[in-house]
């Protein structure tokens, strides 16, 4: 018999819990035009939302890993330099206790077919494999249908920060809140 099959649940490593966070609209202010949110194209446009630092601190204190999972298709489309996104992420990680940033730079809009672009769960699955995460005990927090569908596909519970964007959800979230601090309080109750 395969030795790995003999390993009991008591001796196997304990999987960790995570909160996956979309970036734009969850951590930073999304730029809304005609009812749709857009990512900042310049570092000067990146603004961490009120309550985000407190929410992240509460989640970290409760033992959650914090992982940003973000589509940044403007890089793949040539509208934003990857260095700008990396500068934003470096600043974000200095300000907040983020454990990992997963990014999909593919352009989408039928120009790419990858497993990492939300709503596909590739970024969450990759982080789970790398960090030993229990996705069933983890959460996906986002502000768009892609985030909610991604969380469901990965087997996470989902929280929508509901800004009433001019786009329909494909699947209902498990919960709806007004901001990340409300999401953290819900996750921790």
CA separation (Å) from 181 to 48, 83, 119, 154, 184?
A: 13, 29, 24, 23, 5
Beta strand 157-161 with 31-33 is unpaired
With tokens 């409760």, the residue in question is 62
Q: Could you report how far apart the first and last alpha carbons of the chain are, in Å?
A: 43
Active site residue 166: no
Q: Which of 22, 74, 147, 149 is catalytic?
A: 22
Q: How many CA atoms lie within 13 A of 70 on its CB side?
A: 25
Q: Which of 24, 74, 147, 149 is catalytic?
A: 24
Active site residue 24: yes
- Residues labelled as active-site residues: 22, 24
């Amino acid at each position: 018999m395969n030795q790995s099959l003999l390993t009991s649940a008591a001796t196997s490593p304990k999987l960790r819990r995570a909160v996956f966070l979309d970036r734009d609209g969850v951590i930073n202010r999304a730029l809304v035009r005609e009812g749709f949110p857009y990512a900042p194209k310049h570092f000067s446009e990146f603004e961490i939302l009120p309550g985000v630092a407190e929410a992240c601190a509460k989640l970290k204190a409760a033992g959650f890993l914090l992982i940003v999972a973000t589509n940044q298709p403007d890089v793949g489309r040539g509208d934003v330099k990857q260095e700008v996104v990396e500068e934003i992420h470096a600043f974000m990680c200095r300000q907040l206790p983020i454990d990992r940033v997963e990014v999909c730079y593919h352009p989408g809009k039928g120009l790419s077919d990858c497993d990492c672009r939300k709503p596909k769960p590739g970024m969450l699955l990759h982080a789970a494999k790398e960090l030993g995460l229990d996705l069933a005990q983890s959460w996906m927090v986002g502000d768009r249908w892609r985030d909610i569908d991604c969380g469901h596909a990965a087997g996470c519970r989902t929280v929508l920060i509901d800004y009433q964007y001019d786009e329909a959800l494909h699947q209902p979230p498990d919960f709806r809140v007004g901001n990340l601090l409300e999401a953290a309080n819900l996750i921790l109750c």
